[in-house]
């Protein structure tokens, strides 16, 4: 493409962008965006080259298009990221932002490189496990301070805000681009409507804390498809943390591969509701596969998962999660006395290989209800980190350290305070029976209206002279186990 101005396509080269990776091209990029906006909208084109830039704003009716070989190179100087109140994880702005805009996009076969390691102390770990030691199985041996980084997370320095952040925007498209090394949330949609994310690749350093892949907050009608996300924190998160009372509704995620040091898919946390979401044809490799969390007033309803392949393991460091393929929990967070419900959750054709079992944990009956599993396969595998980390439930964050992470026997499937649980077709297997903090195969505790049809499996190994049972029921009502 030539360096000339076209009525609907404007190249940044025409405004003086050098693309040499050394000369700052911020003003050329901003000028191209202004010119496109003045002409009524169109495409701002980036030919092959490396475009070093400070943050810039995207306007309505404008799409940034990165040709193959084009790289937007984010400034590595923290002083270039001015302070703002639009980022949840940093007081600073990210690289590309838009607010109250419509019909905007980022497309093409190019790359956005965020230079995330410049904003991390790569030789120092974030946090410590000392505060949890009175409550976990390992006590004073839990997460002993070490100079070894292992799985991280490393300690962040002062860093930019969410890399790409769109607030109160409508009709947004991000397609085919590759995004590398975000030091914070990579893409954040906040109170947006009609969003398409298709065919993108996000590849962040797995040691970076809070480097979530795609975060949707109080959004409606969002489709994420055909994408690969590798993130140090949640790969895809659906929340309603915004002050807006608008519920999150109509999220579809399909045909994606997710890698995470926290949750592959996370839903929950927030004051407004999350409704009517569909997740299908997804592979997950993570600390925790799928996490659904009620912590505030907002409820999570009518959520469907189908054809999901999950692989989870224990990790060193202060990552939330404990190797569970699926975790649902309802328990108040600090400062929140009201608690929403998790209701109408459907899992179909789920296959997991994991170092921990499925956990459904309610603090009181009535907050998790109407949950079903059909065609569920779980293989529990031994972990080299079992003695150092295993035998605990991780529900962080909650309102008290004692319920954040605490000693608890594990099982292949654990459910507490669930009203309305249906399991049809569940095969549980053990590879080289795990260590002794695993007790029964399936545990129902203070549950009611439970129906299990066609279970195949057995208890883990003996822990004492008494044989563990396949099923353990404590204070349950109206439970049926058939054809098993």
Instruction: Give tens-digit pLDDT for 460-479.
Output: 875 554 568 899 999 999 99
Let me know: does 169 contact 216? Beta carbons within 8 Å.
Answer: no
Let me know: does 332 contact 404? Beta carbons within 8 Å.
Answer: no
Write down the pLDDT at residue 338: 87
SS3 78: helix
What are the structure tokens assigned to 119, written together? 């904003």
Tell me which of 206 and 460 has the higher pLDDT: 206
Residue 310 domain-assigned (yes or no): yes
Write down the pLDDT at residue 87: 54
Calculated CA dihedral for residues 150, 284, 287, 239, nearest 10 degrees:
120
Q: Domain count of the chain?
A: 1
Residue 6 domain-assigned (yes or no): no
Write down the pLDDT at residue 434: 61
Q: Is the pTM of this model over 0.75?
A: yes
User: Domain residues for 372?
Assistant: 243-249+259-484
Nearest to 448 by CA among 367, 371, 365, 344: 365
Residue 446 domain-assigned (yes or no): yes
Average of pLDDT values for 276-289? 98
Nearest to 260 by CA among 325, 335, 330: 325
How many CB atoms neighbour CB 243 within 10 A? 8
Let me know: does 87 contact 184? Beta carbons within 8 Å.
Answer: yes
Residue 33 domain-assigned (yes or no): no
Residue 298 domain-assigned (yes or no): yes
> How many whole angstroms separate alpha carbon 76 and alpha carbon 193?
32
Residue 385 domain-assigned (yes or no): yes
How many CB atoms neighbour CB 359 within 10 A? 25
Tell me how far CA of residue 83 lies from CA of 162, 186, 188, in angstroms: 12, 18, 17
Residue 29 domain-assigned (yes or no): no
pLDDT confidence band for 282 (50 / 70 / 90): very high
Nearest to 184 by CA among 293, 84, 57: 84
Average of pLDDT values for 218-244? 91
What are the structure tokens assigned to 213, written together? 């892949």
- Vertex 234: Cα angle to 390 and 408 (nearest 5): 20
Residue 132 domain-assigned (yes or no): no
Write down the pLDDT at residue 141: 87
């Amino acid at each position: 493409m030539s360096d000339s101005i076209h009525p609907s396509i404007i190249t940044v080269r025409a405004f003086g962008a050098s693309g040499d990776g050394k000369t700052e091209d911020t003003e050329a990029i901003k000028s191209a965006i202004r010119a496109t906006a003045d002409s009524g909208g169109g495409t701002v084109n980036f030919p092959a080259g490396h475009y070093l830039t400070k943050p810039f704003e995207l306007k309505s009716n404008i799409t940034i298009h990165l040709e193959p070989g084009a790289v937007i190179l984010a400034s590595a100087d923290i002083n270039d990221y001015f302070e703002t109140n639009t980022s949840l994880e940093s007081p600073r702005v990210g690289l590309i932002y838009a607010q109250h805009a419509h019909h905007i996009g980022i497309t093409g076969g190019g790359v956005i490189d965020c230079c995330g390691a410049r904003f991390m102390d790569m030789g120092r770990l974030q946090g410590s496990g000392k505060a949890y030691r009175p409550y976990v199985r390992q006590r004073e041996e839990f997460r002993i301070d070490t100079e070894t980084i292992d799985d991280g997370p490393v300690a962040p320095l002062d860093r930019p805000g969410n890399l790409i952040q769109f607030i109160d925007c409508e009709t947004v498209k991000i397609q085919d681009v590759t995004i590398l090394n975000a030091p914070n949330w990579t893409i954040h949609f906040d109170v947006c409507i009609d969003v398409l994310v298709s065919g993108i690749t996000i590849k962040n350093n797995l040691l970076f804390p809070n480097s979530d892949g795609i975060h949707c907050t109080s959004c409606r009608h969002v489709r994420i498809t055909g994408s690969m996300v590798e993130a140090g924190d949640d790969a895809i998160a659906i929340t309603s943390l915004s002050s807006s009372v608008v519920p999150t509704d109509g999220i579809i995620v399909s045909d994606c591969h997710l890698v995470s040091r926290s949750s592959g898919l996370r839903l929950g946390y927030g004051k407004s509701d999350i409704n009517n979401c569909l997740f299908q044809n997804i592979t997950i490799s993570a600390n925790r596969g799928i996490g659904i969390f009620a912590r505030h007033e907002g409820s999570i309803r009518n959520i469907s998962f189908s054809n999901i392949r999950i692989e989870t393991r224990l990790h060193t460091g202060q990552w939330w999660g404990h190797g569970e393929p699926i975790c649902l929990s309802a328990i108040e967070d600090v400062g929140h006395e009201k608690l929403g419900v998790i209701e109408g959750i459907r899992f179909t054709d789920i296959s997991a290989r994991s170092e921990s079992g499925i956990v459904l944990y309610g603090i009181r009956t009535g907050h998790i209800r109407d949950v079903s599993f059909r065609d569920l396969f779980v293989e529990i595998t031994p972990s080299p980190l079992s003695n150092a980390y295993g035998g605990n439930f991780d529900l962080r964050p909650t309102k008290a350290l004692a319920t954040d992470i605490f000693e608890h026997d594990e099982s292949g499937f654990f459910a507490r305070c669930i009203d309305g649980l249906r399991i049809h077709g569940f095969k549980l297997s053990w590879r080289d029976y795990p260590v002794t903090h695993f007790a029964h195969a399936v545990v129902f505790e203070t549950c009611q209206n439970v129906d299990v049809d066609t279970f195949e499996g057995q208890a883990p190994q003996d822990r004492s002279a008494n044989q563990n049972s396949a099923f353990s029921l404590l204070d349950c009502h109206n439970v049926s186990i058939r054809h098993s």
